[in-house]
Structure 1
């Protein structure tokens, strides 16, 4: 057609006559090699396009008033369960005393074998009735021996078990002499059971829910109490049998919040930490810096994971003070309660891990087309060079 004739002068893709084309063996080899390279690189681009990558970013943590979950699993080889308590303190003044509702205690034999789980009280765990009750209908109010004002909340003014009496005395900051002086303890054979359990070990595992602020939680011997700003542990029972106990322990697990996605999950710094000592009056302190982490998955239907990661430094010392064993020039101060103390500090920053596609569809197509153009141009250049070299050799 006539309108096509003016367009011919813009044609950069000039054609040659089929008879004028020359095919060579080197050209065929270059074509096969370049085709293989193109297919391989296209495959890599496809894999990159389908790949899900995690992009981190750091922002100021906008959350306020959140609670934080602490997951722990710790074993003491030479301290029985009835001597250990788990307490939580924070800078706001909140005090969780001897947390039990979310913590399981497993009694261990001296050889490390499991004796029983959650047998926390020295009275019979199979019997939930008060020992002073003759029938479920006829309940008797047990004597608190002067500590009625500090009786358990569920039985105000009454201490119906040995454990209730001991808790009331702990809240009143009163010492306990001979537990057989309490009728409840004598009927529950508290002293006999204590003697039988004093050579055992203990595994503590569970969860704590704390305010997201600086504070500490600790596992220490003796019943705890709070006297103003002073946190006190009654360690007399522990001190009576010092030759049987020490603070050797294994931290099987310690984390703050749910686990992250496996693609970015890392082992927690204190997992499988083993500490050995033959000193009963020994204090291990772990100083933990918690940073909020948020994982945002690519799929909209999958939930966002809010958790925490932490870094830790540690210090240990005997509570009677004196020079450090490894560094004698450093003198430890005297005082404190033996046990494991986890001091928590909260970072104001949040790390967000966001899943994104490795490449967009437009990016994938652009890369493929660029690759094709580049490979064809390079292959044509190499082929032409080889052809010209052969012509020169013939002449």
Structure 2
């Protein structure tokens, strides 16, 4: 036996003569259905292969000496910008009052439209300036200074009361860079002198800290990430109070297919509201109390293996071809049996 004969004997796909093949309408119908199914499955498998998957891994957080960026974007529809302040404190003992680093306030009219923009003023620096004046001036200068302060307070009271009457609100946005330790920041009227605040509002129960959180995050956003406080709206209809959001921050790294690494954080949150009565000495505020998890999460983008894609493709296409071939044979035999039965009945 020659080489050609051996190769022909190994042929797993023997072919019949063209004149021995019979093409039928049922076979054409099954072939079209099979092509549609195979095309659909091919596109599905191709999409499955091209789409990236994310793999999550956990490890102990080893980062040190870094700052924690806090992105804030909130609206207070019932409080003017002149009375709002942002204060932050952490477990390291660092306490910053009325932060002005990368923080802006937008004045809003009663319809929510922007009417002005300004930085948050630094009340700590103002207090130091007052102390310096007291140390370097005589009694007469002190009297003049106190009169100026009183006049400034009266102007502020008048300005804020007019803003409240006109229904002004305020939008606070920006970035706080704090130490990477547990702490809190809050937005309130705590930057005001207590007597000034009393003259403006007439009591703690009249401070409406209704707020809308447009965005609150602890780092840049990553694909598939979700910040649970985005879009939160808390509008007070009755007595005022203090809102507290307890936040658990999980350090996160997002690794793209390009090997680029995006350091960020994700978090969970629980909420608590404490009503205030007229005898309370504390003023309403919105607190964000955060703590960091010792575990870091790494989210890594991956693409499925090409050989795995080929294997799945062969399986679904080959299976569909075999199934439609069996269906064609069954339909052909069924139709052939029906036609023979009809021909016999006609002969009789």
TM-score, normalized by length of structure 1? 0.69
Match of 1:292 in 2: 251
Structure 2 CA distance for aligned equivalents of residues 372 and 184 of structure 1: 88
SS at 2:32 equivalent: helix
2:166 maps to none
Cα distance, 1:165 vs structure 2: 3.8
Task: Report the alpha carbon displacement of residue 312 of structure 1 after superposing the two structures with TM.
Answer: 2.0
How big is each residue's C-alpha offset from its partner over 1:173-206, in whole Å with a ceiling of 9 and x where there is no partner?
xxxxxx9945286289513421332223443322
CA–CA separation in structure 2 for the residues paired with 1:182 and 1:205: 37
State the alpha-carbon separation in 1 of the partners of residues 68 and 228 from structure 2: 16
CA RMSD between the two structures:
3.6
Cα separation, partners in 2 of 1:85 and 1:194, compared to 1, 3 Å: same
Structure 1 unaligned segments of length 5 or more: list them.
Answer: 123-150, 153-161, 170-178, 224-232, 323-333
1:370 equivalent to 2:312? Answer no
Contact 1:260–1:295 under 8 Å retained in 2: no
Runs of 4 or more off by more than 6 Å in structure 1? none
> How many aligned positions are there?
324
> Quick one: distance in 1 between partners of 2:263 and 2:321?
50
Deviation at 1:250, TM superposition (A): 1.4
TM, length-normalised to structure 2: 0.77
Matched, 1:214 2:186: no
Q: Which residue of 2 is the match for residue 260 of structure 1? A: 221
Deviation per residue, 1:126-176 (Å, 9 max, x gap) = xxxxxxxxxxxxxxxxxxxxxxxxx95xxxxxxxxx66445779xxxxxxx
CA distance, structure 1, for counterparts of residue 173 and residue 181 of structure 2: 22
Q: Deviations 1:248-283 (Å, cap 9, x if unpaired)?
A: 32133342334423x414354253422315546x32
Alignment match, 1:138:
none
Give the Cα separation in 1 of the matches to 2:35 and 2:101.
Answer: 68
Contact 2:74 2:211 in 1 (8 A): yes
Per the alignment, do residues 29 and 85 of structure 1 end up closer, same or farther by CA in structure 2, a change over 3 Å counting? closer
Match of 1:315 among 248, 259, 272: 272
The 1-side partners of 2:214 and 2:144 are apart by 39
- Once the two structures are TM-superposed, the CA of residue 216 in structure 1 deviates from its matched residue by 0.7
**Where does the alignment leave 5 or more consecutive residues of structure 2 unmatched?**
134-140, 164-168, 342-348
Pick the structure with more helix per residue: 2
Tell me how far apart the structure 1 counterparts of residues 119 and 142 of structure 2 sit (CA, whole Å): 21
Partner-residue secondary structure (3-state), 2:293: strand
